[in-house]
Amino acid sequence: MQTLELHPLCTIFPRLSDLDLDCLRLDIKEHGLREPIVLFDGMILDGGNRYKACLAAGVEPIFKQYEGDDIAAYVLSANFHRRHLPLNLHALIVASVQDWTKAYKLGDNQRVVPWNHPQEDNQRVVPWNHPQDSTASRAKQSGASLSTQKRADAVVKADPELAKKVVNGEVKFQDAVKQVAPQFASKSSKCSMEPIALEDAYDPKEHELEEAHQAIVDLAEENQKLKDAIAVGHLPPAEQSASEIIADLRNQIKTLQEINKTLTESRNILQNENAAMNKQILMQRREIDGLKKKAAVHA
């Protein structure tokens, strides 16, 4: 199977953790690929994690070609709705997408993209919609505050590779801001109006989630060994029949998958509650600032 490259826009989004990738691999191995991998110009535009999981599971991937006229808007929409990311990462991703699109923009409504067809020029022009070209419009798209979006813009403009490290969890957002735009970091340290970063939030169910995942992986591997043994006619001696063993293993896997799903949903609920609390804190801080200004005027 030929290995496909990821489109630059696809690489802007974080890759799945080993734990989540294993869960995806097991699901694809058991049920097949549910959502096709989207290609554009011979590269993976959306579905890099699904593609990797297919290769690991030994399952033939299913592909479809992107047929729209705004790949930037597409990858943002496709990824934001299915991922639970903190708003500062949303801001970084939107800024990174715009940074990439500017490099391929041509005129008012066209852009130049790489094209590797042997019988054509090495570039071609396709329709293009205007990128989010203001801090306010980017903040609206990312869902972050103007202050967070400004910091994200500063990181991406100064060091796009550093922005990728933040998105992939290698560097904390505030550390990146301090490194490339200390003027923003110093202001936020004195009187920050930004929500608490979810990347620092403690998840009390994380350990249980890892244990459930590992149990699923172990049982799935044992199940596969038994299937292989049945295929060649060699079964280990046991009091239970092969069908009983497999049925029992499948039930255990199903139970653990439900536990894993429940724990994952609980983690997502906690993250959403944290985000809602952060928004409330932001609103209260703005109200306090407004009251302070009014008090200063009457003083």
The tokens for 232 are 């060649």
Structure pTM? 0.56
Would you state the pLDDT for residue 215? 64
Q: Does position 75 have pLDDT exceeding 80, yes or no? A: yes
Looking at the chain, the whole-number percentage of residues with pLDDT higher than 90 is 29
* Spatial distance between the Cα atoms of 173 and 148, rounded to a whole number of angstroms: 10
- Residue 212's region, left for phi above 0, alpha for psi from -120 to 50, else beta, is alpha
Q: How many residues does the chain have?
A: 299
**CB within 8 Å of 215: residues ≥ 6 apart:** 256
pLDDT at 231 (0 to 100): 59
Q: Which residues of 82-102 are buried (b: 16+ CB within 10 A; e: fewer)?
A: eeebbbbbbbbbbbbbbbbbe
- Amino acid letter, residue 233: G
Give the model confidence (pLDDT) of 129-186 as tens digits. Answer: 444 578 888 988 888 888 899 999 999 999 999 999 999 889 999 999 999 888 876 5
Q: How confident is the model at residue 234 (pLDDT cuts 50, 70, 90)?
A: low
In this predicted structure, what is the pLDDT of residue 240?
56
In the predicted model, is pLDDT for residue 110 greater than 70?
no
The string of pLDDT tens digits covering residues 236-264 is 555 556 667 677 777 777 777 777 777 77
Task: Please give the mean pLDDT across all residues of the chain.
Answer: 76
Element (H, E) at 265: helix 242-298
Question: How much is the pLDDT for 7?
Answer: 94
- Tens digits of residue pLDDT in 268-292: 787 777 777 777 787 887 888 878 8
Rounded to 5 degrees, what are φ and ψ at 45?
A: -85, -40
Beta-strand pair 105-106/43-46: unpaired
- What pLDDT shows up at residue 260? 73
DSSP letters spanning 92-154: HHHHHHHHHHHHTEETTTEEEEE---TTS-SEEEEE-PPP--SHHHHHHHH---HHHHHHHHH
DSSP-derived pairing of the beta strands 37-40 and 63-65: parallel
Parallel/antiparallel/unpaired status of strands 43-46 and 63-65: unpaired
